[in-house]
Structure 1
Amino acid sequence: MGKYYDGDVEKRPRIQKLIDDLYDHMPEIEADRAVILTESYKETEDEPIILRRAKAFQAICEKLPITIRPGELIVGSNSRVARGCQVFPEYSFSWVEDEFDTFSTRTADPFHISEEAKQQLHEVYKYWKGKTTSDLATSFMTDETLLAMKHNIFTPGNYFYNGIGHFTVKYWEVLEIGYEGIMRKAEAELASHTVGEADYAERSAFLKAVIISCQAAIHYAGRYAVLAREEAAGCQDPVRKQELLAIAANCDRVPAKPAESFYEACQSFWFVQMLLQTESSGHSISPGRFDQYMYPYFKKDLDAGKITHEDAQELLDCIWVKLNDLNKVRDAASAEGFAGYSLFQNLIVGGQNEEGEDVTNDLSFMCIEAAMHVHLPAPSLSIRVWNGSPDELLLKAAKLTRTGIGLPAYYNDEVIIPAIMNRGVSLKDARGYNIIGCVEPQAPGKTDGWHDAAFFNMLRPLELVFTSGEDFGEQVGPKTMPVEEMTGFDQFYDAYKTQMNYFISLMVNADNSIDMAHARRCPLPYQSSMIDDCIARGKSLQEGGAVYNFTGPQGFGIANATDALYAIKTLVFEQKKVSMEEYKRALADNFGRGFSKERLTFLTREVVDQLAAAGKQVTPEIAAAVAAGFRDLKLPEETVKRYDELLKMIDELPKYGNDICEIDEFARDVAYTYTKPLEQYRNPRGGRFQAGLYPVSANVPLGAQTGATPDGRLANTPIADGVGPVAGRDVHGPTATANSVSHLDHFIASNGTLFNQKFHPSALSGMEGLQKFIALIRSFFDQKGMHMQFNVVSRETLLDAQAHPENYKNLVVRVAGYSALFTTLSRSLQDDIINRTTQGF
């Protein structure tokens, strides 16, 4: 292993200019891809869907406008303007048209869209009615599933409205043999089969689609070679002229052929990354173990004297900037849950090789250095940690954490490797794992993980226990025993499990319906060309072509559910301080803090319906008066006082997150109510379901759809993020909190867990602060925690940034499994980050 690089090279003017150009305007929605795609679909109506997809991708690569941004060394952009984005009508489209006039003013991730683009998209969308994956998926779902989604028990919106993401392709194979080599593999596979085989028609169509897609990528790079030479011919700056000629030479060779230098490897990598985002609108397309597959090219050039650390660092910095250029537009509701324009491109360094040896290298350090230089949200930099991780790597990572950027996230080899082996991944492949998107582990280049398949709100089934499965007048869940009739906590807990099991089965139905829709309407031949064993199996990733197939929906709300169930157990059934009737009424009354918007609507509708049933004419004015009456209704003073007493009793109970064994063991069991039932289910690709425990940032908007809960949480307020405690309830310091979180069974949550902590900057000051920080990580991982991530920023800074965003344009914070510019987040998400407990040593 060579000398670790710790150059701390000052940010070069080129990099700063590229960054400035990214953020000098609002991101823009462009219509080019949608227009090209639709024209292609109209021309291939009678062909197999896999060939239609390949030919559409080919048309996009041939016709999508291309540009070389000023000063770039790595080229390739799927939008005309920096941070612009295309749209993908084949997945869903109605929401785009519905939001034409609100994109630029919405609270989360606003976009500019021109009148010309609106008109183009309006014409495009006429073709897609009834033809999208979301249309087909909806038709597969049961009525009960759709009802549960309507009542916000869970949301499978990720793949319901968007393309497939959450994977790592074989970047290394493209670097080693190029697309010409992959085409030869597909051609040889096709030649090895005969027309009389039962599946020849489908297999041959898929392999031809792979070849077309690879040819399309090669052609796309060739267009950049031509453009670079054209710009060089007119360039008066001799330095830039040579740079453009070097770019042209790179694009002539890669990604068609094997990379022969580190610069070519960087350019080839980027074409793969960018074109994957052009074929499909899926996010979390993650570069994975970049420091491993790129290192041979760096080492070869360095040893030959063809490159210096400084020059290689500048290329890395350029890639880091480009990763922030990619963008995606989501509907307004989804944007709240994924706020920050994030694409969750997870790049991980460090860890072990197939033989279990540490493989940290110079590039591992240089990737951390690149994050320091550009100080931007992407990539979502991660670090693999195990007992063999060198202290120098952790120290370098801790220095990056101390900058406040929220990077890197830390992952425990000693939990993740056995966890995914338990799901059938071989030891060799498990040791090579990387992280996808937020926190999800997978074997790269071999897995269709379908991570983030749904958000399951563990508090909504708890609400339905109190109403015997009824929600706003509809029977949504099973009709469990009325809580007033329960005589022991076991009955209550069993009712909760009954509600959970029922809704988990409906979530599976939703996920599998969407899964089938993608296989039938939007298989992805370009993506599939770079994941084993699609070529050998003769089928796309969406049809089960991967070696490993999973579906990974995540549950969230463990901390609230634990504290809530413990409060019921203690106050109602053990201490008998509160009756179940009173608890139920307190929740319905939001502990006397005013009715939620949803409950106001329901109560108003109930009275209006009663009036109408009695033959009364209900005018809009009467309905408004009824609503105003409920809104202004004041509960009796004695009732409010009693609710205050109840809240005080709840507050005085022990809480999850403080290293209290009884509570922490209970939290482990509560988590099992989600993770264990999910294991029994299978998906259409021949794989199994596996649980994750994390919310991305959906704990805020989905909390806004959730009523008051028995832990004292008020209606419509955020739910605890990840597997950490409720904000403000962890009062015994970071080590106690980490000890509590480690009690959860992280091995069963093989789709990932997310543990956030926030530190005051003073906690990490000096070498002593860094060493204490590293000790905390090592201690948590020794106790078999899976993941940790950190914000290092003061509450005062965040409040000032909220009040004066113009002064904090470059403030990056950790949101959930990703970082984002603080000022781009919605107000509610900013508040959630501000209110997280600030720790110190």
Structure 2
Amino acid sequence: MAEAIAISEPGERIKRLSRRYREEVPWISIERAKYYTESWRETEGKGIPLSIRVALAMKNVYEKMNFYLDPDDRIAGYWTEFFLGMPIDIERGVFNQVLENELDKASLIFLRMRSGQKALLYLLRKKALREFIRNQKMVRMSGQAPLNLEIKTMSEREINPFRIRNEDRLYLKKELLPFWKGRTVVDRLERELVKAGFYSKDMQDFVLSVPGNTSRQVLMISPCATISSFQGHVILDYEQVLKQGLRAMKEEVQEKINDHQGLSQEERDFLSSIELALEGVMIFAKRLSERIREEIERESNPERRAGLEKLYKTCQRVPIEPAEGFEQAVQSIWTVKTAVELAHPVNLHCFGRLDQALYPYYQKDLNAGIITREEARELLEELLLKIMSQNIRPESNILSNFYHRYLGSSPVTLAGITPQGEDATNDLTYLFIEAVAGSKAITNIAIRVHPKTPDRLLLKISEVLYKGTSSFAFFNDPLNIEAMKRRGFREADARNYAVMGCVEMTCPGKTGSMSANALLLCRLLDITLRNGDSRTLAGLIKEVGLKTGEPDSFHSFDQFSQAFIKQGKYMIKKIVDASNLRDRLYAELLPAPYISAFIDGCLEKKKDVTRGGGIYDLSGISMINSIANLTDSLYVINKLIFEQKKFSFQELVNAMDHNFVGYPELYREVKRLEGKWGNANPETDELARKIMKELFQETYQYRNFKGGPFVIYVISMTTHTIDGRISIATPDGRRAGQPYAASCNPYNVERFGVTAVLRSVASLPFEDVMGCAVNVKFHPSAIGKIEELRKKWVGLLRTYFRLGGAQLQPTVASAEMLRCAQQEPENYRDLIVKVGGYSTYFVDLGREIQEEVIARTEHQ
């Protein structure tokens, strides 16, 4: 019998922090944008190298920003002047249009009028207005509510609201946004994509006419292909900070500068930018400790004063000097993460394997009696809440039904094996599990599992899952390590992998930031069905793919599937080229000295991380929307068109264009077809494996701008609902406007239980994938209230991984419970679910995402 670990209630301090993070509305902070712009103006036209200008701009921010300190802090440091705030990286420009248009009513009304006019002119020019109106009726007939087009500012909206002080709003709109308009990296990227010919004329007209969405996190280069507008997902070398401290790291850089023999001017400039960056983070740390000292002088409560003095002593030392104990280690990494993420706020900075990095300090203090296990747990509870608090985005209002406040996508990785191949589970691993249960934070917890992972650990996690905290995702070590090695990671580094973002794997402290892109599989199929054209709810877009032949000209399913693969390879090459264009622009326009200072390889190569300074670098292509819908669609085509010859391609395409209305016999045959993917049917499992293997293999031949590989992910975030909302019907019977299957999920066609689902998922070629999300909804009874039942669930997980599954992220909640949460959200504030590849509070989700989670097949 597994040894029990009691999970006690959190203390009052943690309860207060948790409640405030849940209930308070975040503030937009303009301090970073203001002081960054101030420095940028001062250094403009003076011949100062760009990397040094970036370092100086952030140094100016650290010197002038206000530091918030909360009475409940035991870990100090915030990235704005507020308890819960969002800084603006105005130079990147991802959210500038949101801020320009959605902070006040007049701007928002003007935006809606202008975008509506553009969309109308597009539809009239395309002679597609009648078709668009008909398509919207079809979407409503499919049961989808109208898009949220309410004229509500960021402070008025119900989902993901933000507030801003009036004087800050005026300064932002009159001084800051006008200065950066046309200058940001995203502005330049949009112009360069057009200039480089990535858009057909029809596609360019379509992109320019999409109304309302002002966020520019993702840029469409085709109806079936997107690139992210930013570089992100990184894990700094926190262990180096803990062991050396910033002062020693800065001295090492100074030595290389002083030993200038053989240095090129570019190398010297880079080293100077790293020196300035380390100095900047040290300024941030010193000013943080000074803020605590000021509070000590004002504090009259002896107990609170003692706590502040202890915190002051900690912050005086770290991260400038090496950490000596557990509290210092936690404070050190938090200070560095906060300072560096403030420099690059959309980069999704993750902590990596914290149970490994922090364990020596925990063990030392525990053995010396300096800290108790309960005190250490409370510190971890606070840390998990603070990680969550920096994972917010000021998204566009038109997408509010698809978003929520906290993304939960800055994971902590636990357990697994060591670089030497031994089991890495330790007491801190268990303490983190207890902290997750106590804090109710939605910070993703990535659990690495290998054959010798203790059952005790998995049973303890299943106990937490049973209680409604679905913050955990499980990763199959042997398979994922093999995938890492196939992409060029050394054995020891592959064994040391950690999860960044939602599910993406990397080697902590050695890998440059990941560049994200996506291939939309069902849209790719639509292009194949239309011989290079694509139909959307706004009409036909011509010449976005290859001319691979009219479908009715194909004499076999193999011919048709090869045409699809040919279109896929063409789009992969297009994504590669666009992604490399973006990465070249980042190297030219926005180097990252504050990241480069903490990535192994940059100092040795004397090269910024945006130019390939890290030991490793990755660019990702996520294949989404979705494997299930694509496989089922191809299965329908093979069975009903080629084998049974019941229908023609033209009949199928016409049915799709009319949302199957008027085609009852075809729709009935599609829906009644047995053996769709997710039922352990060897035919569809092999079909999915074969098609995806060909697409996955295509990426091995490409290198990114920074010299790293292009790798495969299968993670949809919330795009399966967003893309589904604007997509026509698909051959598998999915109606227009309905969501696609999420990530690696079947499309709610499962008939033979969870074991059949997992067998189908495990048949995919995950040895070629660097991160995937497998969302499975379990009724609480499937996890089990008692240990004997939980052992069966642990056995299911291990069997699935032996079969070849790469990842599993369970949501443990019944449909009835989720419906109750919709009706009485105040009673279910701590209910955590999995969405795409991350955790979030169910009651914070937009309605459409809530409905998609509820609709997933529930396994008993």
Q: How does 1:488-507 map to 2 (within 5 A)?
A: 488-507=556-575
SS, match of residue 369 in structure 2: coil
Separation of aligned partners in 2, 1:673 and 1:823: 40
Identity of aligned residues (%): 33
Using the TM superposition, give the Cα deviation of residue 28 of structure 1 relative to its aligned residue in structure 2, in angstroms: 1.9
Q: Does 1:182 align with 2:281?
A: no
SS of corresponding position for 2:777: strand
C-alpha separation between the residues in 1 aligned to 2:697 and 2:464? 37
Match among 76, 94, 97 for residue 97 of structure 2: 94
- The structure-2 alpha-carbon separation of the partners of 1:248 and 1:170, relative to structure 1 and needing over 3 Å to count, comes to same
Within the alignment, does 1:516 sit opposite 2:584 as a pair?
A: yes
Matching residue of 2:858: 838
The residue number in structure 2 matching 1:193 is: 260
Deviation of 1:7 after TM superposition, in Å, equals 4.2
Partners of 1:105 and 1:711 in 2: CA distance: 40
1:586 aligned partner: 655
Provide the rounded CA distance (Å) in 2 between the counterparts of 1:438 and 1:327: 12
Contact 1:260 1:297 in 2 (8 A): yes
Contact preservation (8 Å) 2:270, 2:608: yes
Q: In the TM superposition, what is the alpha-carbon distance from 1:466 to its structure 2 partner?
A: 2.3
Map of 1:811-822 to 2, 5 A cutoff?
811-822=831-842
Task: Give the Å deviation of 1:62.
Answer: 1.1
Judged with a 3 Å threshold, the aligned counterparts in structure 2 of structure 1 residues 4 and 182 are, in CA distance, closer, same or farther, namely farther
Q: Do the aligned partners of residues 10 and 473 (structure 1) sit closer, same or farther apart at CA in structure 2, a change above 3 Å counting? A: closer
- The Cα of 1:223 is off from its aligned counterpart by 1.5
Give the TM-score normalised by the residue count of structure 1.
0.90
Q: Does structure 1 residue 143 correspond to structure 2 residue 208?
A: no
Mapped to 2, the partners of 1:648 and 1:83 lie a distance apart of 53
Amino acid at match of 2:718: S
Deviation at 1:586, TM superposition (A): 0.3
Residue aligned with 1:112, SS: coil
1:79 and 2:80 are equivalent in the alignment: yes
Which amino acid in the other structure matches residue 357 of structure 1?
Answer: E
Q: Residue 491 and residue 336 in structure 1: after superposition, are their counterparts in 2 closer, same or farther (change >3 A)?
A: farther
| Alpha-carbon distance, 1:590 to partner | 0.9
Once residues 401 and 514 of structure 2 are traced to their aligned partners in structure 1, the CA distance between those partners, rounded to angstroms, is 21
> How far off is 1:233 after superposition?
2.1
Q: How far did residue 68 of structure 1 move?
A: 0.7
Q: CA RMSD in A?
A: 1.9
Aligned residue for 1:447, secondary structure, equals: coil
Please give the residue correspondences for 1:616-695 in structure 2 after superposition, counting only pairs within 5 Å.
Answer: 640=662, 642-695=663-716
| Aligned 8 A contact 1:107 1:827 in 2 | no
| In structure 2, distance between residues paired with 1:690 and 1:337 | 27
Q: State the AA in 2 paired with 1:143.
A: G
Amino acid at match of 2:51: I
What is the SS of the residue equivalent to 1:353?
coil
SS in 1 for 2:324: coil
Residue number in structure 2 paired with 1:230: 294
Tell me, in whole angstroms, the C-alpha distance in 2 between the residues paired with 1:33 and 1:103. Answer: 20
Q: Which moved more, 1:764-773 or 1:531-540?
A: 764-773
How big is the shift at 1:828?
1.0
Residue 608 of structure 1: aligned partner: none
Partner secondary structure for residue 69 of structure 1:
coil
Aligned mates of 1:107, 1:691 — CA distance in 2: 35
Partner of 2:49: 48
Deviation of the 1:72 alpha carbon: 0.8
Residue deviations 1:745-767 (CA, integer Å, cap 9, x gap): 00111x21111100111122211
Secondary structure at 2:281's aligned position in 1? helix
Aligned counterpart, 1:363? 428
- TM-aligned CA deviation for residue 330 of structure 1: 4.1
SS of the aligned residue for 1:85 comes to strand
Instruction: Give, as a single letter, the amino acid of the residue that structure 2 aligns with 1:461.
Output: L
**Quick check: 1:62 aligned with 2:127?**
no
Please state how far the C-alpha of 1:362 moved relative to its aligned partner.
0.7
C-alpha distance in structure 1 between counterparts of 2:289 and 2:82, whole Å: 20
Cα distance in 1 for partners of 2:551, 2:28 equals: 51
State how 1:397-412 maps to structure 2 within 5 Å. 397-412=461-476
Cα distance between partner residues in 1 of 2:368 and 2:393: 44
Contact 2:393 2:405 (C-alpha < 8 Å) held by counterparts: no
Between the aligned partners of 1:117 and 1:5, the Cα distance in structure 2 is 52
Of 483-492 and 428-437, more deviation after overlay is shown by 483-492
Q: Which of 729, 732, 736 lines up with 2:756 in the alignment? A: 736
Residue among 275, 293, 316 paired with 1:211: 275
Alpha-carbon shift at residue 382 of structure 1 (Å): 1.2
Aligned equivalent of 2:629? 560
3-state SS in 1 of match to 2:636: helix
Whether the 8 Å CA contact 2:670–2:732 is kept in 1: the answer is: no
The answer (yes or no) to whether the contact 1:34–1:87 under 8 Å persists in 2 is: yes
Q: How far did residue 474 of structure 1 move?
A: 2.4
Measured at CA, do residues 698 and 339 of structure 1 come closer, stay the same or move farther in structure 2, by a change above 3 Å? farther
Q: Which amino acid aligns with 1:89?
A: I
- Provide Cα deviations, 1:779-832, integer angstroms capped at 9, x if missing partner: 011112111010000101111222332332222211121111112211111111
Shift, 1:187, TM fit: 1.4
Where structure 1 has 5 or more consecutive residues not aligned to the other structure, the ranges are: 593-639
Please state how far the C-alpha of 1:508 moved relative to its aligned partner.
Answer: 1.5
Deviation at 1:495, TM superposition (A): 2.1
Match of 2:215 in 1: none
Are 1:544 and 2:606 matched, yes or no? no
Measure how far apart 1:422 and its partner are: 1.2
Distance 1:335 1:39 in 2: 33
Q: Which amino acid aligns with 1:99?
A: E
| Contact 1:442 1:449 survives alignment (8 Å) | no
The superposition leaves residues 208-264 of structure 1 with CA deviations (integer Å, 9 ceiling, x where unpaired) of 111111112112121222221221222222111101111111111111000111111
Tell me, yes or no, if the aligned pair for 2:198 and 2:578 is still in contact at 8 Å.
no
Aligned 8 A contact 1:21 1:82 in 2: no
Q: Secondary structure at the match of 1:348?
A: strand
Equivalents in 2 of 1:115, 1:479: separation in Å? 54
Inter-partner Cα distance in structure 2 for 1:304 and 1:486: 75
> What is the deviation of 1:145?
4.3
SS in structure 2 of the partner of residue 387 of structure 1: coil
CA drift of 1:674 comes to: 2.9
How far apart are residue 99 of structure 1 and its match?
2.4
Offset, 1:334: 6.9
Residues in 2 aligned to 1:470 and 1:7: alpha-carbon distance in whole angstroms: 60
Report SS of the residue matched to 2:337.
helix
Shift, 1:189, TM fit: 2.1
Deviations 1:576-598 (A, max 9, x none): 11122211110111101xxxxxx
766, 772, 775: which one aligns with 1:746: 766
From the superposition, tell whether residues 407 and 329 of structure 1 become closer, same or farther in structure 2 (CA, over 3 Å).
closer
Cα-to-partner distance string for 1:555-589 (whole Å, 9 max, x where unaligned): 11000000000100110010011122211110111
CA distance in 1, matches of 2:358, 2:541: 58
SS, match of residue 618 in structure 2: strand
For the 8 Å contact 1:5–1:366, the answer to whether it is kept is no
Supply the AA of the counterpart residue of 1:132.
T
- Name 1:596's counterpart in structure 2: none
Distance change in 2, residues 1:335/1:500 (3 Å): farther
Quick one: distance in 1 between partners of 2:4 and 2:318?
28
* CA apart distance, 1:408: 1.3
Per-residue CA deviation, residues 263-312 of structure 1 (Å, 9 max, x unaligned), is 11111011012112201122431111000110111111111111111111
Counterparts of 1:284-323 in structure 2 under 5 Å? 284-323=348-387
CA shift, 1:504, in A, is 1.7
- 1:152: which partner in 2? 223
| CA drift at 1:772 | 1.2
2:18–2:440 contact (8 Å) kept in structure 1? no
Q: Using structure 2 for the length normalisation, give the TM-score.
A: 0.88
Q: 1:632 corresponds to which residue? A: none
- Structure 1 window deviating more from structure 2 (410-419 vs 145-154): it is 145-154
Whichever residue aligns with residue 450 of structure 1, its letter is: M
Task: Write the distance in 1 (CA, Å) between the matches of 2:590 and 2:356.
Answer: 32
Distance in 2 (alpha carbons) for counterparts of 1:792 and 1:800: 15
Where does residue 628 of structure 1 map in the other structure?
A: none
Kept in 1: contact 2:350–2:412 (CA 8 A): yes
Q: 1:761–1:473: structure 2 CA closer, same or farther, 3 Å change rule?
A: closer
Matches within 5 A, 1:126-525: 126-141=178-193, 142-145=196-199, 147=203, 149=220, 152-157=223-228, 160=229, 162=230, 164-194=231-261, 197=262, 200-332=264-396, 339-342=404-407, 344-378=409-443, 380-450=444-514, 453-471=516-534, 472-525=540-593
2:777 counterpart of 1:758: yes
Amino acid of the residue matched to residue 586 of structure 1?
A
Question: Secondary structure in 2 aligned to 1:363?
Answer: helix
In 2, Cα distance between equivalents of 1:211 and 1:376: 36
User: CA–CA distance in 2 between the matches of 1:782 and 1:182?
Assistant: 43
Give the counterpart letter for 1:120 in structure 2.
Answer: Y
SS in 1 for 2:77: coil
One-letter amino acid matched to 1:169: L
